[in-house]
Amino acid sequence: MITVEQARGIIVGRITPLPAEKIPLDQALGRYLAEDIVSATDIPPWDNSAMDGYAVRVQDVPKEGVRLDISYEIPAGSLPKGPLDKGRAVKIMTGAPVPPGADAVVKREDSQEFEGSVVIRTLPRKHDHIRFAGEDIRTGEMILEKGTLLEAPEIGVLASLRRRMVFCRQRPVVAIIATGDEVADLDEELAEGKIPSSNSWSLISRVRQLGAVPLYLGIARDTAADLRGKFARASRADLILTSGGVSMGDYDVVRDVMTESGNSMEFWKVRVKPGRPLAFGVINNIPAIGLPGNPVSTMLSFDLFARPAILKFMGALTLTLPRVRARLTEEIRGSSDRPQYVRGILKRCGDELCASPTGPQGSGILSSMARGNCYMIVPQGNETLKEGEYVECEIFRPSW
Ligand code: AMP
Ligand code: MG
């Protein structure tokens, strides 16, 4: 049986990043840059005042208490009316351009203005309270690299470079198909013996969280014919995800369809707990991941295998969940034959991180995901990790 890393390697190896498209900055949040951003200007564009105060020449203020006549004033958004004359001051507001000849700004708090002149109370040093042209970003500087996730700071930088349009990789369309005669959608009647299709919703939400476009195709009944019908409706998808129907049961038909002529299956089963039954292949020329049906396994397998595929389509550089090491607050049990992913709560304990299990760990216990924020990874063969030992954790909540 292949390992998590091998399975991920095979899946990611089959994915080619989508083409770039030019989009308005307004729509770029959560997207990945498809171009390197090199600044064509200095930011700030000119030397400007970091304070409300008075622009002076340091050599004109050899001691405290010097009084200088004020030539004029520069509000933010205006230009200097001329150079600073020797022995005088110019009143200046935060963000306004420093007049030629001035080499410091004296804060309003360090001065006293009356009758058109100002008394300087604190000795200025050269360059005090001046923000120099290009001190934030220099002309020609590479400021954001291809593959960068655009979040609020990056969008702000792009706006300061006046980039109204930006090249980002397209968002993949991800078809989602639930399977099972026992599962029902929320708009269906919940007949006796049926359960709600929670996987439909956890998968739609995960896909959206990554910035991809879910194409929900509903629930396929446990027949090859019904499943084929759903796959036929996925033709505009970049990736197909199914949930359930990949185990050993008589009605587990995902693999049957994946191995039919025209389709292909690259692997089935990964050495991981939960989530061993996982099928990866190509259906109607579209990469397809058959996720297991148990709700925790569905989400874990999504995070381990579908997430990297989607992020690669989008042009991201890092595909795996963020990892940290934390100290266990109580013993957790693993498995002799597979690494086990235990849902945990990661928090800060004094100077370090600590993690505790969320409670019962059955692969059907979806509330263990809702209570947790990370997977604590117990390596294969390590049947228990004791309280106080370190455990590797993968954080599945982006907000953490
Ligand atoms: P399967 O692999 O199809 O046998 O499914 C394994 C377990 O997951 C069964 O208990 C199913 O009822 C459950 N399951 C399958 N699909 C879903 C779904 N869409 N939502 C919630 N539970 C599901
Ligand atoms: Mg099933």
Give me the pLDDT at residue 383, please: 84
Q: Is 333 helix (H, G, I), strand (E, B) or coil?
A: strand
- pLDDT (tens digit, 9 = 90+) per residue, 283-324? 999 999 999 999 999 999 999 999 999 999 999 999 999 999
Evaluate if residue 1 carries a pLDDT over 90.
yes
The domain ranges of the chain are 4-17+171-313, 30-43+136-169, 48-131, 323-395
Give residues whose Cβ lies within 5 Å of ion ligand 2.
Answer: 180, 244-245
Evaluate if residue 398 carries a pLDDT over 90.
no
| Mean pLDDT confidence for 319-344 | 97
Residue nearest to atom 14 of ligand 1 (CA): 293
328, 387 in Cβ contact below 8 A?
yes
Give me the pLDDT at residue 144, please: 98
CATH 3.40.980.10 for domain 4-17+171-313, yes or no, is yes
Single out the residue of 299, 291, 270 nearest to residue 365, CA to CA: 299
Give me the pLDDT at residue 372, please: 98
Evaluate if residue 197 carries a pLDDT over 90.
yes
> Of the ligands numbered here, which is closest to the C-alpha atom of 247?
1
For the chain, how big is the Rg over CA atoms in Å? 30
Q: Which atom of ligand 1 is nearest to the CA of 292?
A: 2
Task: Report CA(395)–ligand 2 centroid distance (Å).
Answer: 28
CATH architecture of 30-43+136-169: Alpha-Beta Complex (3.90)
CATH 3.40.630.30 for domain 48-131, yes or no, is no
- pLDDT (tens digit, 9 = 90+) per residue, 263-280? 999 999 999 999 999 999
Q: Tell me which H or E stretch contains 227.
A: helix 224-232
354, 347 in Cβ contact below 8 A?
yes
Task: Report CA(256)–ligand 2 centroid distance (Å).
Answer: 13
Give me the pLDDT at residue 169, please: 98
Q: Which atom of ligand 1 is nearest to the CA of 252?
A: 3
Per-chain mean pLDDT for the chain:
97
- pLDDT (tens digit, 9 = 90+) per residue, 67-109? 999 999 999 999 999 999 999 999 999 999 999 999 999 999 9
Q: Which of 176, 177, 183, 216 to mutate to test the pocket of ligand 1 (most atoms within 8 A of CB)?
A: 183
Q: Which atom of ligand 1 is nearest to the CA of 219?
A: 19
Residue type, position 113, single letter:
E
Residue nearest to atom 10 of ligand 1 (CA): 294
**CATH for 323-395?**
2.40.340.10
Whether ligand 1 lies within 6 angstroms of the CB of 275 is answered as no
Displacement of CA 272 from its chain's centroid (Å): 25
Whether ligand 1 lies within 6 angstroms of the CB of 244 is answered as yes
Give me the pLDDT at residue 400, please: 85
Whether ligand 1 lies within 6 angstroms of the CB of 368 is answered as no
Rounded Cα distance between 36 and 43, Å, is: 18
- pLDDT (tens digit, 9 = 90+) per residue, 170-186? 999 999 999 999 999 99
Whether ligand 1 lies within 6 angstroms of the CB of 53 is answered as no
Residue type, position 300, single letter:
L
Residue nearest to atom 1 of ligand 1 (CA): 244
Whether ligand 1 lies within 6 angstroms of the CB of 242 is answered as no
What percent of the chain clears pLDDT 90, i.e. is strictly above it? Answer: 99
Cβ neighbours of 302 (radius 10 Å): 24
Q: Is the peptide bond before 295 cis (omega within 30 degrees of 0)?
A: no
| Mean pLDDT confidence for 254-261 | 96
Evaluate if residue 382 carries a pLDDT over 90.
no
Q: What is the pTM of this model?
A: 0.95
| Mean pLDDT confidence for 156-170 | 98
Q: Tell me which H or E stretch contains 281.
A: strand 279-283
Evaluate if residue 131 carries a pLDDT over 90.
yes
Give me the pLDDT at residue 55, please: 98
Give me the pLDDT at residue 167, please: 98
Evaluate if residue 399 carries a pLDDT over 90.
no
Rounded Cα distance between 357 and 371, Å, is: 10
290, 8 in Cβ contact below 8 A?
no
- pLDDT (tens digit, 9 = 90+) per residue, 219-233? 999 999 999 999 999
